[in-house]
Structure 1
Amino acid sequence: MALSVVDLYRDVLPKTNCGDCGFSTCIAFAGMVVSARHPLDGCPHLMPETVARCSRELGEQYAAGKWTQRDLAEDALKWAVERSASMNLADLPDRIGGSLVERGAGPALKLPYFSGHVLIGERDIQRPDGTDLTRWEKVFLFNHVAQGGTRRPTGKWKGFEAFPNTVSKVKTMSSQVEGPLADRFHGRLEELVGAAVRIGGQDHAGVENGADAAFFFQPLPRVPLMLLFWDEDPSEGFSASARLLFDETVTDHLDIESIVFLSERLRQMLCDAADQARQRSIDNDPIQMPGMRL
């Protein structure tokens, strides 16, 4: 018998709205259990046998997809895998770069990815040490496998907004990538430089760009990108700003969504590298307070 939100609330939960589960009401907790597969034992007031019985019923309706929210990442990954399924691995090195290698699960494409590599098989992607990537990273990489053309970068750089069909995503690029980078590294130029070097960036400051910091990244063999950063100048009333530039051939290799994802991934890697370095400095110098600029 399937358990709806109302069934779970009315017949199973204590209806006390105590908040011990982390939700403000029992009905809110029930909604998350039914639609988002939140663990039923998150309610500490249920008997173990009740949890076991209801979990079996919930498991059956989860498997049938009844009342559950769609897992967008999983749906996107299935689509990307199917999209790339017709690709012949042996053709990929000439088309997108990398080299073929043998592994226990069969042949794979060893593809440079930022400062490391990934192993791309017919239906999965892993790092050489066997650790997994996020599902969204896999979506992005499978899409690259399916779309990537043979065109080589020309060295002609463009802002994201200069490419066709980016109007709906320009705001995302600003709010999720360039704006957060400016906010994170304003007044901390040395932190940005250190983080960029740690994730494989090549210093291009002063190379006809006039930026305070400029770094060239090669996240994929045929997909370079450039980060320009101008630090704040309070005396002149200038705020910090960041801008990503892409080779004019990027849309031969990635769709617009994938370009945004790659940009968001770069932002995350830079911020993580800076945060890790900052924490190491604090650990080595306990006199420094976490809120101090290094």
Structure 2
Amino acid sequence: MALSVIDLCRDVLPQTNCGDCGYRSCMALAGMVVSEKLSLENCPHLDAETIQRCSRELAAQYSQGKWLKRDMAEDALFWARQGSAAIDIEDLPERIGGKIVERAGQKVLELPYFNDVVHIARQGISKNDGSEITRNEQVFLYIHMARGGSAKPSGNWKSLKEFPNTVSKVVSMKAHVEAPLKEKFSGNPAGLAKRARKIGGIDQTGDYGTADLAFLFQVLPRVPVMLVFWDAEPEDGFEAEVRLLFDQTITGHLDIESIMFLSERLKDLLC
């Protein structure tokens, strides 16, 4: 018989909400046991026989995936891989850039990524040293591969709000990318320039008039990002301002969620 959170709390746990397990209530502990496979042994008030009996029932429902918390990152990676499964790796350089090289006896795509390279093979994506990249970065790259875009950058730059269906993402961009960069580098444009160069940024300040800094980042061969920075001017009441600009072709290569991911990744590298 399967044990739901309610069953476990009502029929097995002592319902004292004593906190001896490290959780505020028996219901909270039951939720962790059912959805995240926390051991019942965390409750010090259960006898060994009860733990053994319930553990057998829990093991059966875990094996069926019943009531388990879904790993959303793993799901996203699975579907991203599915979306790119039919792609011939040898066709990718012409469409998204990079080059085909041989590693461990097989042909893989060597793709520049920020100031490094990744290797894309049929069985997965790895860093240049052979270690795996994060699941979120793998999803990002699989989406780029499957998106179908082939256009080279046009040199026509746009802010996120100029692309369709980005109203909510513009708010996220301000909160999670622009605000942290402003806080980190307000009054310190030299520090921002140093970090930008360290991760492969190319100084374009001379092309941006009143801006104190402008750096071009070649995130992927056909996905450039421009960061423009105006430092604070307290005597005139102006705060620092940061803006990320994207080539107008980017939506052919990435969806809006992926554009947000690369923006946050760039912020993390700079900060």
Tell whether the structures are fold-level matches, with TM greater than 0.5. Answer: yes
Distance 1:89 1:56, change over 3 A: farther
Percent identity between matched residues is 56
Unaligned residue ranges in structure 2 (runs of 5+): none
> 1 CA distance for matches of 2:10 and 2:260?
44
CA contact (8 A) 1:205 1:214 kept: yes
CA contact (8 A) 2:119 2:128 kept: yes
CA contact (8 A) 2:208 2:214 kept: no
CA contact (8 A) 2:228 2:244 kept: yes
CA contact (8 A) 1:85 1:123 kept: no
> 2 CA distance for matches of 1:25 and 1:68?
20
SS of the aligned residue for 1:206 comes to helix
Unaligned residue ranges in structure 1 (runs of 5+): 272-294
Q: How far apart are 1:81 and its partner, in Å?
A: 0.7
1:86 counterpart residue number: 86
> 2 CA distance for matches of 1:23 and 1:137?
34
With 172-181 and 49-58 compared, the bigger mean Cα shift is at 49-58
Distance 1:266 1:235, change over 3 A: same
Amino acid aligned to 1:40: S
The number of residue pairs the alignment matches comes to 270
> 1 CA distance for matches of 2:50 and 2:218?
54
> 2 CA distance for matches of 1:52 and 1:212?
66
With 145-154 and 255-264 compared, the bigger mean Cα shift is at 145-154
Amino acid aligned to 2:240: A
2:7 counterpart residue number: 7
Q: How far apart are 1:54 and its partner, in Å?
A: 4.4
> 1 CA distance for matches of 2:181 and 2:23?
33
> 2 CA distance for matches of 1:190 and 1:54?
61
2:181 counterpart residue number: 181
Distance 1:186 1:88, change over 3 A: same
1:223 counterpart residue number: 223
CA contact (8 A) 2:215 2:228 kept: yes
> 2 CA distance for matches of 1:101 and 1:262?
25
1:131 counterpart residue number: 131
Instruction: Report Cα offsets for 1:48-100 as digits up to 9, x if no partner.
Output: 77666645543432332211233222222111111111111110011111112
Q: How far apart are 1:38 and its partner, in Å?
A: 5.0
SS of the aligned residue for 1:228 comes to strand
CA contact (8 A) 2:97 2:111 kept: yes
Instruction: Report Cα offsets for 1:102-129 as digits up to 9, x if no partner.
Output: 3348432111110111111224211122
Whether 1:43 and 2:32 are equivalent positions in the alignment is no
SS of the aligned residue for 2:102 comes to strand
CA contact (8 A) 1:81 1:123 kept: no
